[in-house]
């Protein structure tokens, strides 16, 4: 009998509300048409909480369950997006200022993944958390990046939204799909006088 190990690709992320996602997706499409860069169009508009990781299909249910305590221990929070930034002269993004709530959420997700030995490269790959929403990357050539950065380095955008859940996405071979939504369920304690 031959055992076939099916590995799937998963991503943990915050998906902004549709009115923000649609606005940012329009930016990505305009960049794509203007500069002939297409890689950033593949995933949904998102803030990565934990990079894509491969997990055996047989472990999927366990992975889904082990993330539940994270959602129960976090309050919903407000998140801003503001202006633009870049990495490595090939990635252009909408800046997502780090706040204590998103930082804590990401830290707890990374701790669960590390503790359960889901991602062997966990310590190296997720030690620095820089929340952002990518609008161009991977297929951006250096000369194209210079022109894009010149266009966006002083551009302004400022939006805010409530984060009341995070998502586990699964790649089906063609695109990312939401597999599980985790509501942030911690409620403030009531003080009786």
Q: List the pLDDT tens digit at each of the 193 positions of the chain.
A: 666 778 999 999 999 999 999 999 999 999 999 999 999 999 999 999 999 999 999 999 999 999 999 999 999 999 999 999 999 888 999 999 989 999 999 999 999 999 998 887 765 544 589 999 999 999 999 999 999 999 999 999 999 999 999 999 999 999 999 999 999 998 776 556 5
pLDDT of the residue at 189: 65
pLDDT of the residue at 17: 98
Q: In sequence order, what DSSP letters do the residues of 71-129 get, joined into one string?
A: HHT---EEEEEESEEEETTTEEEEE----HHHHHHHHHHHHHHHHTT--TTHHHHTSS-
pLDDT of the residue at 64: 96
pLDDT of the residue at 125: 47
Provide the 3-class DSSP secondary structure of residue 150: helix
pLDDT of the residue at 101: 96
pLDDT of the residue at 145: 96
Distance CA 31, CA 40 (A): 10
Domain ranges of the chain: 9-183
Contact 10, 179 (CB under 8 A): yes
Give the largest Cα separation in the chain, rounded.
67
Query: What class is the 9-183 domain?
Result: alpha beta
pLDDT of the residue at 127: 58
Predicted TM-score (pTM) of the model is 0.91
């Amino acid at each position: 009998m031959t055992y076939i190990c099916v590995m799937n690709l998963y991503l943990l992320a915050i998906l902004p509300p549709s009115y923000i996602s649609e606005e940012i997706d329009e930016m990505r499409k305009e960049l794509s048409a203007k500069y002939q860069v297409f890689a950033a169009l593949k995933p949904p508009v998102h803030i990565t909480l934990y990079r894509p990781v491969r997990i055996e299909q047989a472990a999927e249910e366990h992975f889904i369950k082990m993330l539940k305590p994270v959602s129960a221990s976090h309050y919903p929070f407000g998140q801003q997006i503001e202006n633009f930034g870049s990495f490595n002269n090939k990635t252009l993004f909408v800046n997502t200022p780090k706040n204590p709530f998103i930082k804590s959420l990401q830290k707890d997700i990374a701790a669960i993944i590390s503790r359960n030995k889901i991602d062997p490269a966990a310590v190296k790959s997720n030690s620095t958390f820089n929340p952002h929403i990518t609008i161009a990357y991977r297929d951006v050539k250096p000369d194209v990046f210079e022109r894009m950065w010149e266009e966006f380095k002083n551009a302004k955008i400022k939006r805010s939204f409530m984060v009341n859940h995070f998502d586990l996405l699964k790649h089906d071979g063609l695109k990312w799909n939401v597999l599980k939504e985790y509501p942030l369920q911690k409620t403030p304690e009531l003080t009786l006088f």
